[in-house]
């Protein structure tokens, strides 16, 4: 399997598929991955592979895929982080098998998806995704859409990450042991490519924040799902680099910019 860093660098959302169904082998591998998915922050996440025709699923932005997957979680504290984390790890795993995906929060037939997922009263299904073999060429619609949201660009490292306190830019050099992991977070996908993750490094700790730029929808704050996605890239890269640590909720009480909210802290077991 390609390295996590390589998968993160090469991954792109896929909305145009070649119409070939999933092989049984690919389906079995995804099912096995879902069964063993790591769901941090204490919230269980349930995945299902769904047949579009059987459940009447559709998405206006997707062409050539008849198979989707979706995930639900109980509406408990941190469910968005847990779901984003586990969903993104699954998308990266799919990419390692040559399978494309794209998280869809808005562009999906939500009622049909929720029915297929049997979403209970105290459960939430923030996103679903097609899964299949990417077409050789993107549809015109997808190409135009990617341009519109500048899907191929990311904010600079120094704009997202800070040294000791907000306002003091962190360079990859100064990020030391966290440099690759923060770069992994920087490259992560996010709703409308808003990249809401921010981080402040203090010694062997990194405090993560959400810079909110979208309003809540009926399901809550989709940018917290983005945070979960970014945190999965961050931790998967650290692990690949042979480092161990843990997430803890320990707000350091820093002065924060407007619309910026503390989310979680990562503490390295070795010293940075
Ligand atoms: C939580 C979340 C929700 C998203 N919702 C949609 C959506 O409703 N429709 C869509 O076409 N893309 C959606 N996307 C895909 C993003 O637009 C895409 O990840 C971003 O533009 C970056 O492009 P990339 O994934 O190719 O790097 C969503 C992504 C995330 C992470």
pLDDT (tens digit per residue) in 92-147: 999 999 999 999 999 999 999 999 999 999 999 999 999 999 999 999 999 999 99
Mean pLDDT of 237-259: 97
End-to-end CA distance of the chain: 28
Ligand 1 centroid – CA 225 distance (Å): 11
* In the chain, where the domains are located: 4-142, 157-268
249 C-beta neighbours (distance < 10 Å), count = 11
Tell me the whole-structure pTM to 2 decimals: 0.97
106 C-alpha to ligand 1 centroid (Å): 9
Supply the mean pLDDT for the chain: 96
Pocket test for ligand 1, best of 189, 213, 230, 231 (most atoms within 8 A of CB): 189
Q: Which of 12, 4, 1, 5 is nearest to 154 (CA)?
A: 12
Buried b (16+ CB within 10 A) or exposed e, 63-78: bbbbbbbbbbbeeeeb
The DSSP annotation for 51-105 comes to EHHHHT---TT-BS--EEEEEEEES-TTHHHHHHHHHHHHHHHHHHTT-EE--BS
- Is CATH 3.40.50.10260 correct for 157-268? no
Cα-only R_g, the chain: 18
Going by their DSSP bridges, the two strands 67-74 and 128-132 should be labelled as antiparallel
Do residues 78 and 221 touch, judged by C-beta distance below 8 A?
no
Residue nearest to atom 2 of ligand 1 (CA): 191
Q: What is the mean pLDDT of residues 221-225?
A: 97
SS3 117: coil
Does the pLDDT value for residue 217 go beyond 90?
Answer: no
Q: Across residues 225-244, what is the average pLDDT?
A: 97
Pick 4-142's CATH classification: 3.40.109.10, 3.90.1300.10, 3.40.1010.20, 3.40.50.261.
Answer: 3.40.109.10
**Distance of alpha carbon 113 from alpha carbon 70, whole angstroms:** 8
Residue 52 phi, psi (nearest 5): -60, -45
Most ligand 1 atoms within 8 A of CB, residue of 13, 127, 144 to mutate: 13
**Which conformational region is residue 238 in: left (phi greater than 0), alpha (psi within -120 to 50 degrees), or beta?**
alpha
Task: Please tell me the residue having the least CA distance from ligand 1 atom 29.
Answer: 191
In tens, the pLDDT along 127-136 reads 999 999 999 9
Distance 202 CA to ligand 1 centre (A): 31
- Judge if 4-142 and 157-268 fold alike in CATH terms: yes
User: Would the pLDDT of 167 be above 70?
Assistant: yes
Q: What is the percent of the chain with per-residue pLDDT over 90, rounded to a whole number? A: 96
């Amino acid at each position: 399997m390609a390295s996590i860093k390589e998968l993160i660098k090469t991954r792109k959302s896929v909305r145009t598929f070649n119409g070939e169904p999933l092989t049984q082998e690919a389906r079995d591998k995804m099912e096995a991955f879902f069964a063993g998915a790591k769901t941090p922050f204490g919230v269980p996440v349930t995945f299902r592979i769904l047949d579009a025709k059987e459940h009447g699923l559709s998405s206006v932005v997707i062409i050539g895929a008849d198979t989707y997957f979706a995930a639900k979680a109980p509406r408990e504290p941190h469910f968005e982080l847990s779901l984003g984390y586990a969903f993104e790890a699954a998308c990266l795993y799919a990419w390692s098998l040559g399978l494309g995906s794209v998280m869809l929060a808005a562009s999906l037939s939500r009622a049909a998806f929720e029915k297929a997922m049997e979403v209970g009263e105290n459960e939430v299904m923030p996103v679903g995704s097609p899964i299949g073999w990417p077409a050789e060429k993107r549809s015109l619609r997808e190409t135009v859409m990617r341009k519109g949201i500048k899907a191929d660009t990311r904010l600079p490292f120094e704009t997202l990450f800070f040294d000791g306190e907000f306002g003091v830019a962190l360079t990859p050099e100064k990020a030391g042991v966290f440099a690759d992991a923060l770069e992994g977070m920087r490259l992560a996908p996010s709703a409308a490519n808003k990249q809401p993750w921010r981080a402040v490094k203090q010694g062997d700790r990194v405090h993560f924040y959400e810079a909110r730029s979208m309003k809540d929808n009926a399901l809550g704050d989709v940018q917290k799902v983005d945070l979960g996605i970014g945190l999965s890239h961050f931790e998967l890269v650290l692990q690949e680099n042979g480092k161990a640590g843990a997430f803890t909720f320990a707000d350091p009480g820093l002065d924060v910019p407007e619309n910026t909210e503390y989310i979680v802290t990562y503490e390295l077991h070795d010293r940075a």
